[in-house]
Amino acid sequence: MKNLLFSAWPYIAVSLLVIGTVVRYLLERRQMDVVRQEMTEAWALFGGALIWKIAALFLVIAHAALLLLPRAVLSWNSNWGRLYLLEVLLFAAGIAALIGLGRVVWRHLGHSNRSAIAELSDSVFLGLLLVGTLSGILLAIFYRWGSSWGAMILTPYVASLARLNPDPTFAAQMPFLVRLHVFSAFAALAVLPLTRLAAFLVFALYGAFGLLGRPVSAAGRRAETWLRRHNPAPWLWPEED
């Protein structure tokens, strides 16, 4: 199970995220009014107090820095004062995010205006976020200095996944809370295309394809204009008198 969790599951989750997002885009790309309505509903559900948004953003940025800039994180943590500051900020952000998620779940349970599948998907997604957030808080309590050992163990593991050569040797030996934290993160990505939040991904794809299509369309129009002006047909097949 550990090998499945750390070797195969990340690729399965990312594949479900990509395929699910593309399928949803293909189904809804001609119904952007519906997509905008879903975005409004998603913001009404997942949005909340400013402190919740700041805490969630800080946690996302901190995890990204841990994965992308591990040496910078370790250099920052080489000073005990900075290490304590980072750990306290992460713990406080985790508590704020947990409280914010609790309010989001409360709103979700008290308001339903979508299909059963959409409601179930949102519920599963929120549950996974709660598991991931709570496991992160417990990690900070029972296994201190996570920003340091995470940069030395989890970051190389994620890098091996990016190289398509997963090496779960050290990550699979981590305590249960660490494995639960990793699993819930990838599971949330796998469920994301089924939730209201996927409307933002669909809208982003629609805009990206629209921007990419403009140069192609412009080039096509210019080529058509040039061909009309330099049409070789009258020279090759002159009309007979």
Are 32 and 203 in contact by the 8 Å Cβ rule? The answer is yes
Query: Which of 3-12, 53-62, 177-186 bottoms out in mean pLDDT, i.e. has the lowest?
Result: 3-12
Query: Which of 64-68, 93-97, 212-216, 231-235 bottoms out in mean pLDDT, i.e. has the lowest?
Result: 231-235
What is the chain's mean pLDDT, rounded? 83
pLDDT band at residue 19 using 50, 70 and 90 as cut-offs: very high
pLDDT band at residue 90 using 50, 70 and 90 as cut-offs: very high
Q: Where are the domains of the chain?
A: 2-199
Residue at token pair 């008198």: 241
Contacts 24+ apart (CB under 8 A), 46-49: 46/104, 46/196, 46/197, 48/100, 48/103, 48/104, 49/100, 49/103
Residue at token pair 């990793």: 182
Instruction: Give the separation between CA 68 and CA 62, rounded to whole angstroms.
Output: 10
pLDDT of residue 44: 81
The structure's pTM equals: 0.81
Q: Distance between alpha carbon 9 and the CA centroid of its chain, in Å? A: 16
The answer to whether residue 83 scores a pLDDT higher than 50 is: yes
Instruction: Give the separation between CA 215 and CA 99, rounded to whole angstroms.
Output: 46
Instruction: Give the separation between CA 127 and CA 167, rounded to whole angstroms.
Output: 28
| E strand or H helix that includes residue 60 | helix 50-68
Residue at token pair 């939730």: 195
pLDDT band at residue 113 using 50, 70 and 90 as cut-offs: low
The answer to whether residue 131 scores a pLDDT higher than 90 is: yes
Q: How much of the chain, in percent, has pLDDT values that exceed 70?
A: 85
Q: pLDDT for 154-197, tens place per residue?
A: 888 888 888 888 888 877 788 889 889 999 999 999 999 988 88
Q: pLDDT for 23-44, tens place per residue?
A: 888 888 888 888 888 888 888 8
Are 220 and 226 in contact by the 8 Å Cβ rule? The answer is no
Instruction: Give the separation between CA 48 and CA 59, rounded to whole angstroms.
Output: 16
Q: What are phi and psi of 120, to 5 degrees?
A: -65, -40
Average pLDDT over residues 5-25: 90
Are 160 and 90 in contact by the 8 Å Cβ rule? The answer is no
pLDDT of residue 96: 93
CATH topology of domain 2-199: Fumarate Reductase Cytochrome B subunit (1.20.950)
